[in-house]
Structure formats: C-alpha cells, structure tokens
C-alpha cells in the first residue's frame, strides 16, 4: 500500500476515533488514555501509553500503599475507584471522589481508609484492566464509577468472590446472574432536575429556558427529563430548549451551545457532565443564571449559579463499608433521592434568591417526598 | 421549524461558525506550513493543550491576556523544536512521533493543571471587540466584525499565509523542500533549516490556537480542553489541498455544520440529536473520499530527508 495512503488512513482513523469517542481522553490509534493512579505499586499502570504522567498522589496513602504490598497493613480498609473523567471535573467523578475523602476523614484518616484511584478511564478496555488489577491487589471495595463499565464488571466479579464491587449509575446487582459481590448505586437525578426546573421557571422572564446536555442517556437524560417536567409544572407554556452535544468532554461545543441558547432567547440555563464548565463560563459572560447538577458548581460563577443538585455519596459509601466489614460483599442496590438525603439542593448563598422561588421549591420538595408530585410521569 | 428559517437564526449560525472556526484555523494553517515542507505533525492537539494551559496560567497569575499569548508562543516554539528534532534530525517515523508529542502535551498539561491550579477556574481573557466602521454594517457587522482579537488574527493568517507560500522566496523554498528535497538541496536550499522553521512555526500557531480556546473563547482551562480539535485540524489540511484558502474553506464548512447542529436542536427541528452530532465528521469524510486532488500533495510528505539518497 502506498505510504501516503497509509498516512491519510491514519489521520482519518484518528479523526473517527476522536469523534466517536467524545471522551475526556480520546483514544489515539496507538495508545490508550493517560491515567493518574495513586496506587504506586510497580507495573500496575493498566495502559500501553508511552508517555503517561504520574501525578503526585493526592493522599499520603499511596506511599503507605506501596509498602502495604510487602507487609500486611493491619486494619486499614482499602478502597479503589475507576472513573471515566477527572477528580477535578466539578461533576460526576469529583462528586464520588470528594465523598470518599469525606468518609476517610470521618473514619480517622489514611490509617483507617486507603483510597486508590484511576481517572480518565473512559475507554472501557482500559477501565476493565484497572478493575481487575485493583481486585487482585487486595482491595476490599472496588468501585466502577461509570455505567459503561457494567458488562466488564460482571465478567470480572466472579473471579474475585471475596472482593466487594460497586457499580453506578446502575440498578442491577447481577443477582440474576448469580453474582453476590456487586453493589449497585443510582442517583435519581430527575428529582433534583425537577426542583431545578421549578426554580428556572420561576426565575425566567422570557419563558424560555435552555439545557446543554451531553449524550441522551444515563443520569444526564434523567436529570434533563426531570428538569423539563419541573419547568412545565410551574409554567405550562414555557419552552424548554435542549441541545445535546454528543460528548461528555467537548467543552468548546458546550460553550457554543450555551451561546446558541442565549441567542435564541433563553434566560436561564442548565446542563450536565464535565463539559458544562464551558457553558457556565458563557453564562457568566452573558449574565445568565445557571442551575447545576452532580456537584456544587457555584465556585465557577459566584454571582450567577443559583443552586446545584449535589450528589452526596457519603451515606451510600458508609453503608457499603459497614456491610463489607460485617461480611456482606454485595447484593444491595442504592438510590440517591431527595427523601433519603443522598440528593441535596444546595443554594448559592451569593445569589439573591427571590422569595417566590423558595416557596415554589418548598412546595415541590414536599410534593416529591410525599409522592404527590410525579417527577417522571 | 419556522423558527429556523429566520434572519436571526441564520445570522446566529454564521456568528457561531466564525467563532467555532478560530482554533481549527490556527492549528490547520500552522500544520499547512509544516506539511508543505514535508513534515506531518500529528501532535498538534498536544501542542494546543500545552498552549492553552500556558496561556491560561500566565493570564491567571499576571492578569494580562497578551502575556498569556506570549507564553503560548514560547511553549509552542519549544514543542515545535522538539518535534523537528525528532522528525528531521533523528528521522523518526513522523506518524508515531506525532502521536508521542500528542500524549506528551495531553499528560503534561493535565499534570501541570492539577499541580498548579487544581480546580477549574475562569480568567478574563480577550473580550469581543466591535470593529469601528465595519462593525456598524447592518446584519454583517455583528456577524463578521464583532469578535475577539484572536478571531481576527486567525482569519488574517489565511491571506498572509497564502501570500508567504505563493509569493515569497521563503514560500518557494518551503514548497521545493516539500516536493523534491533532493533537488532543493542540490540548489543550496537547506532542507533541515526550512523544515525546522516550518515545524516550529506550525507548533507556535497550534499553541496559539489552544490559547484562543482558553483565554478567548472559553476563558477556562480544563484537562483535555481541546478534545481532539488538533486531529481534525490535521485532517482539514488534507481536506484543503495544502493551500491556506482551501484550508479556510474546509474549516468554515466544518464549523458551519457544527454550528448548524446546535441551531437545529435549539429551534426544534426534528432531527435526532445523534444524527446532528455526526454531520460534521460525516461531511468531512465524504468530501475527503471524493476529493481527487492528490496531485496537490507535497511529494516528500512524511519522508525523512537524507542527503544523497533518493
């Protein structure tokens, strides 16, 4: 084959992989993502990447972790987590990682709980390798923090019956397949979406609100559908305009989507996934209020983020750890809801909230908790 | 559906097109120079990321976007020199070394971001500037002449690049080195010097393209901010037939379809969102496949030069 055609094919291949992936770390033709793992055990890096950056571990647990492989570390509970994006994404992965750190602090620090993590594992093959590695390194709990990891996880879990696995967002613990060591966790994002929709409808003067979504699936879709219903419950004539960028990490496109929404008349915006930081930047520039989800996004636009739905995984994690310590390594499906405190609506203290918003929110919250309001009909 | 065919919508689409085109244009014009001299640099995305990070960090700490631009240019030059060293002096396979450069840029920018900044934050970068006379033209003024300075810079690069390549001695040397380095060498043109220069220049423009994202279009930096823009830019060089004007058309077409898919969704036209997302890439592949201008390709593209060999 002529050399030149080969190179054109390489470029087209790269183009296809990049566009199909929509990842935070696109797969190049010859190598996988560049992970940052705090587990310093030699040879554990589960990718073939030639130039990976080993970030300084964020917990001192990593150095202790290395010696733990040689000598038993005693009572410390070991957790490992594989994530599709970074711990600084102000959204999905950060919510779980921050929760782990809070649990660690509650339990008494690194001596009580050791955390190992791998980020940017959007590529399922890399993630599967990481999960297998973590399971074989003696971790008590291995968390697969991404819906896409499910199939691989169900292949790996039977090989390590004493290791507890956790998978989210998901509701299937693999019980039907005979698996006993998988926990599942889910966030009923539509509930917070509904509340955010109520807030948006009350705040909007033009009756038009804009949504910047990633991919029409998972908790993003749940959140956005709930949001739409929340808006319509307050103002049935409102327009909820949705743009899906097709990727979780395309920050530039998310920003342009926000610009498009605002140019088309939206005066309140919301959105999901780590790419929303681009949209929040545009909202800040054009003074449009923003409603956040997955994590508290008010730091990015202190005067314009009205409220965020925050995923608080601490309760779920504590329950899992307690169960594992008492001998149960799986089988429970957890839900984050407004009622059980797993989902919280965190208002930004720097945003001046009109009193009618608070009234509407309280009414909606009460309705969801007692079941009288149907978030997803 | 009626909302779609209004003047406001069409103007909005054009405005988005111009804004979206900026990073692609910087990277693609830079890559055109490099490829015209015979070197294919697939690491453009990594250079863009390093440029984006450097510009952001310097602007964040000093408060001056121009200092950020300077930082990006310096970082781009350094990475360009590295690529030139590997491809021209060491004669490594350019596809592989390009990917290596990409991974270096991706990893290094993420590492430095985590160590120095830690969380996503915003800066005050280049704001939109309305050009005095041209900006007042009805309809066209807001669309074409109300953008940040870096957008204007990107579009100015096209005529400047075309003029340099086609009407100056440097341009002649670059083209000669890319088509037939043996002949150029025998006439006293230094193939090595020209290739070093074009690859470095191309990387500087790519870094500027990355900076245009972090301190102009988005005003934030995040890990993997470019999300593959650099690779698309390389493809657009092929698409544009290795000519700045062709590259401009390719970039505009790609950005237009990108902008279209956003506006289609906002105005409620019933196209499934997945199809809308596919459109730009599909179009690029179709045009690339149908393009018959293979003759425009630099004859020595990706072939390392050794004096005396054929």
The answer to whether B300 touches A6, Cβ cutoff 8 Å, is no
**Maximum Cα–Cα distance for chain A, whole Å?**
71
CB nearest A255 (choices: B217, B267, B277): B217
Express each pLDDT in B160-202 by its tens digit.
999 999 999 999 999 999 999 999 999 999 999 999 999 999 9
What is the rounded CA–CA span in Å between residue B151 and residue A361? Answer: 43
The size of chain A, in residues, is 377
User: What number is the average pLDDT over the span A141-164?
Assistant: 92
CA B216/CA B65 separation, integer angstroms? 9
Within 8 A by CB and 6+ apart from A17, the residues are A26, A27, A28, A29
| Residue A256 backbone dihedrals phi, psi, to 5 degrees | -65, -35
A36, A53, A244 member nearest B273 (Cβ): A244
The verdict on residue A196 lying in a domain is yes
Q: Are residues A181 and A197 in the same domain?
A: no
Strand order across the A305-311 sheet: A239-244, A208-213, A268-271, A290-294, A305-311, A343-347
Q: From the list B121, B231, B262, which residue is nearest A257 (CB)?
A: B262
Distances (CA, A) of A7 to A339, B84, B94, B156, B304: 57, 18, 10, 30, 14
Short-list B303, B198, B257, B298, CA closest to B21: B257
Is the pLDDT reported for residue A140 higher than 80?
yes
Q: Kindly report the nearest CA distance between residue A246 and chain B, in angstroms.
A: 6
Q: Is the same domain home to A68 and A181?
A: yes
Query: How many Å apart are CA B293 and CA B281, to the nearest integer?
Result: 20
Number of Cβ within 10 Å of residue B267's Cβ equals: 18
Owning domain of residue A284: 189-304+351-369
Q: Are residues A151 and A268 located together in one domain of the fold? A: no
Q: Do A26 and B118 touch (CB under 8 A)?
A: no
On average, the pLDDT of chain A sits at 80
Structure confidence at residue A9 as a pLDDT band (50, 70, 90)? low
pLDDT(A257) > 90: yes
Dist CA B48 CA A251 (whole Å): 14
Query: Which helix (DSSP H) or strand (DSSP E) does residue A347 occupy?
Result: strand A343-347
Return the bridge partners of A186, or none: A335
The candidate with the shortest Cα–Cα distance to A251, out of A126, A89, A58, is A89
Please list every residue in chain B whose beta carbon sits closer than 8 Å to the beta carbon of residue A25. 106, 224
Could you tell me the pLDDT band of residue A333, with boundaries at 50, 70 and 90? very high
A291 with A306: CB under 8 angstroms? yes
Q: How far apart are the CA of A285 and the nearest CA of chain B, in angstroms?
A: 9
Residue B3 is predicted with a pLDDT of: 60
- Name the residue facing B273 among A216, A252, A299 (closest C-beta): A216
Q: Where is pLDDT greater, at A165 or B309?
A: A165
Residue A339 has pLDDT above 90, yes or no: no
| Range A333-339 average pLDDT | 89
Say yes or no: B103 contacts chain A, CB-CB below 8 A.
Answer: yes
pLDDT in tens, chain B (310 residues): 556 678 888 888 898 899 999 999 999 999 999 999 999 999 999 999 999 999 999 999 999 999 999 999 999 999 999 999 999 999 999 999 999 999 999 999 999 998 998 888 888 888 888 888 777 788 778 788 888 899 999 999 999 999 999 999 999 999 999 999 999 999 999 999 999 999 999 999 999 999 999 999 888 898 889 988 999 999 899 888 899 999 999 999 999 988 988 888 888 777 787 887 888 888 878 877 876 665 678 888 888 888 876 5
Predicted local confidence at residue A10, as pLDDT: 62
**How far, in Å, CA of B41 to CA of B233, rounded?**
11
In a domain, A344, yes or no: no
Q: Is the pLDDT of residue A314 over 60?
A: yes
pLDDT tens digit sequence for A210-250: 999 998 877 888 899 999 999 999 999 999 999 998 888 88
DSSP string computed for A170-201: ----SGGGT--SEEEEEE-HHHHHHHHHHHHH
Verify whether the Cβ–Cβ distance A31 to B277 is below 8 Å: no
- With a cut of 80, say whether residue A119 has pLDDT above it: yes
**Same domain, yes or no, for A177 and A210?**
no
Q: What is the structure's pLDDT at B283? A: 81
Residue A162 burial (C-beta neighbours within 10 Å; 0-12, 13-18, 19+):
exposed
Task: Encode pLDDT of A22-61 as tens digits.
Answer: 333 333 333 333 333 333 333 333 333 333 333 333 333 3
Give the model's confidence band at A86: pLDDT under 50 very low, under 70 low, under 90 confident, else very high.
confident
Per domain, the residue ranges of chain B are 2-119+149-296
Same domain flag for A332 and A285: no
Shortest distance between the Cα of B225 and any Cα of chain A, in A, equals 6
Q: Which of residues 209-248 of B touch A (CB under 8 A)?
A: 213, 217-220, 222-229, 231-232, 234-235, 238
**Could you tell me which residue, A162 or B129, shows the higher pLDDT?**
A162
Bridge partner residues of A344 (DSSP): A310
Q: Domain of A163: which CATH number? A: 3.40.50.2300
**In a shared domain, residues A255 and A355:** yes
Instruction: Tell me A250's DSSP state.
Output: -
* Distance between CA atoms of residues B47 and B65, nearest Å: 19
Cα(A81)–Cα(A99) distance, integer angstroms: 12
pLDDT digits (tens, 9 = 90+) for A287-299: 999 999 887 788 8
Separation CA B43–CA B102 (nearest Å)? 4
Question: What pairs with residue A211 in β-bridges?
Answer: A242, A270
Cis peptide bond prior to A169, omega within 30° of 0:
yes
SS3 A205: coil
Contact state of A26 with B224 under an 8 Å Cβ cutoff: yes
For residues B46 and A221, give the distance between their C-alpha atoms in angstroms, rounded to a whole number: 32
Q: Are B242 and B32 in contact (CB under 8 A)?
A: yes
Calpha distance B188→A41 (Å, rounded): 55
Rounded to an integer, the average pLDDT of A334-352 is: 88
pLDDT for A32 equals 36
Q: Does A180 share its domain with A70?
A: yes
The arrangement of secondary structure in B2-119+149-296, i.e. its CATH architecture, is: Orthogonal Bundle (1.10)
Per-residue model confidence (pLDDT) at position B140 = 79
pLDDT at B44: 97
Q: How many domains are there within chain A?
A: 2
Q: To which H or E segment does residue B60 belong? A: helix B44-62
Residue A334: C-alpha distances to residues A104, A116, A340 (Å) = 20, 22, 11
């Amino acid at each position: 084959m002529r050399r030149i055609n080969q190179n054109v094919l390489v470029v087209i291949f790269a183009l296809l992989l990049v566009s199909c992936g929509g990842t935070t770390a696109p797969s190049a033709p010859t190598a996988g993502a560049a992970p940052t793992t705090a587990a310093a055990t030699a040879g554990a890096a589960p990718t073939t990447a030639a130039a990976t950056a080993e970030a300084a571990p964020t917990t001192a647990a990593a150095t202790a972790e290395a010696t733990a492989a040689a000598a038993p570390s005693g009572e410390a509970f070991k957790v490992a987590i594989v994530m599709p994006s970074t711990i600084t994404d102000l959204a999905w992965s950060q919510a779980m990682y921050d929760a782990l750190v809070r649990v660690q602090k509650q339990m008494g620090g690194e001596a009580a709980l050791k955390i190992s993590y791998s980020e940017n594992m959007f590529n399922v093959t890399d993630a599967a390798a990481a999960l297998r590695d973590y399971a074989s390194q003696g971790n008590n709990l291995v968390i697969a923090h991404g819906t896409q990891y499910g199939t691989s996880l169900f292949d790996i879990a039977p090989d390590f019956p004493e290791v507890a696995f956790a998978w989210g967002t998901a509701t299937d613990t693999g019980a039907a397949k005979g698996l006993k060591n998988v926990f599942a966790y889910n966030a009923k994002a539509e509930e917070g979406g509904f509340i955010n929709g109520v807030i948006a409808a009350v705040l909007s003067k033009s009756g038009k609100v804009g949504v910047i979504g990633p991919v029409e699936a998972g908790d993003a879709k749940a959140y956005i559908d709930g949001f739409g219903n929340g808006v319509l419950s307050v103002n049935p004539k409102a327009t909820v305009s949705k743009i899906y960028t097709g990727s979780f990490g395309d920050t530039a496109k998310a920003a342009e989507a926000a610009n498009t929404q605002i140019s088309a008349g939206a005066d309140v915006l919301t959105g999901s996934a780590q790419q929303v930081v681009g949209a929040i930047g545009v909202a800040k520039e054009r003074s449009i209020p923003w409603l956040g989800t997955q994590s508290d996004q008010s730091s990015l636009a202190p005067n314009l983020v009205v409220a965020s739905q925050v995923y608080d995984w601490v309760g779920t994690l504590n329950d899992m750890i307690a169960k594992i310590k008492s001998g149960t390594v799986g089988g429970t499906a957890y839900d984050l809801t407004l009622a059980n405190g797993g989902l919280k609506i965190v208002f930004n203290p720097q945003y001046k909230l009109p009193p009618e918003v608070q009234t509407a929110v309280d009414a909606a919250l009460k309705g969801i908790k007692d079941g009288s309001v149907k978030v997803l009909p | 559906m009626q909302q779609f065919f209004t003047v406001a919508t069409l103007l909005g689409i054009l405005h988005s097109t111009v804004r979206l085109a900026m990073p692609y244009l910087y990277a693609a014009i830079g890559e055109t120079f490099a490829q015209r001299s015979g070197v294919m640099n697939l690491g453009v995305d990594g250079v863009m990321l390093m440029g984006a990070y450097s510009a952001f960090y310097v602007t964040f700490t000093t408060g001056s976007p121009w200092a950020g631009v300077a930082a990006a240019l310096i970082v781009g030059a350094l990475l360009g020199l590295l690529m030139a060293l590997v491809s021209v002096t060491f004669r490594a396979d350019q596809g592989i070394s390009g990917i290596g450069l990409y991974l270096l840029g991706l990893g290094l920018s993420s590492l430095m971001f985590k160590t120095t900044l830690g969380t996503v934050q915003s800066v005050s970068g280049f704001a939109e500037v309305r050009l005095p006379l041209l900006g007042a033209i009805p309809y066209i003024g807001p669309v074409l002449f109300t953008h940040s300075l870096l957008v204007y810079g990107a579009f100015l690069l096209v005529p400047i690049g075309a003029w340099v390549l086609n009407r100056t001695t440097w341009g002649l040397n670059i083209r000669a080195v890319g088509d037939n380095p043996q002949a150029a060498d025998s006439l006293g043109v230094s193939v090595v010097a020209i290739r070093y220069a074009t690859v470095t220049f191309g990387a500087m423009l790519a870094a500027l393209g990355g900076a245009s994202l972090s301190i102009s279009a988005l005003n934030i930096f995040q890990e993997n901010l470019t999300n593959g823009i650099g690779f698309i830019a390389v493809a657009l060089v092929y698409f544009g037939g290795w000519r700045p004007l062709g590259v401009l058309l390719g970039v505009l077409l790609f950005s237009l379809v990108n902008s279209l898919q956003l506006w289609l969704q906002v105005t409620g036209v019933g196209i499934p969102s997945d199809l809308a997302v596919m459109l730009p890439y599909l179009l690029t592949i179709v045009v690339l496949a149908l393009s018959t201008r293979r003759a425009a390709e630099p004859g020595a593209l990706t072939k390392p030069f050794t004096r005396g060999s054929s």
